[in-house]
Amino acid sequence: MTVPTRTAPARATAGPSGTAPAKPPVTAQADYATALLPWIRQVQTALGIEDEALDVDRLHAMTGVVAHEVQRSMAPISSYLVGLAVARGAELDEACAALERATTER
List pLDDT tens digits, range 3-38.
454 444 333 344 544 444 567 899 999 999 999 999
Q: What is the pTM of this model?
A: 0.77
Residue 10 exposure: Cα atoms within 13 Å on the Cβ side:
8
* pLDDT at res. 43: 97
Nearest to 5 by CA among 19, 21, 25: 25
Quick one: average pLDDT of 81-89?
A: 97
Instruction: Assess if residue 98 is contained within a domain.
Output: yes
Residue 57 exposure: Cα atoms within 13 Å on the Cβ side:
19
Domain of residue 82 covers 26-104
* pLDDT at res. 31: 97
Instruction: Assess if residue 16 is contained within a domain.
Output: no
Total domains in the chain come to 1
Tens of pLDDT, residue by residue over 53-68, are: 899 999 999 999 999 9
Instruction: Assess if residue 8 is contained within a domain.
Output: no
Instruction: Assess if residue 9 is contained within a domain.
Output: no
Instruction: Assess if residue 2 is contained within a domain.
Output: no
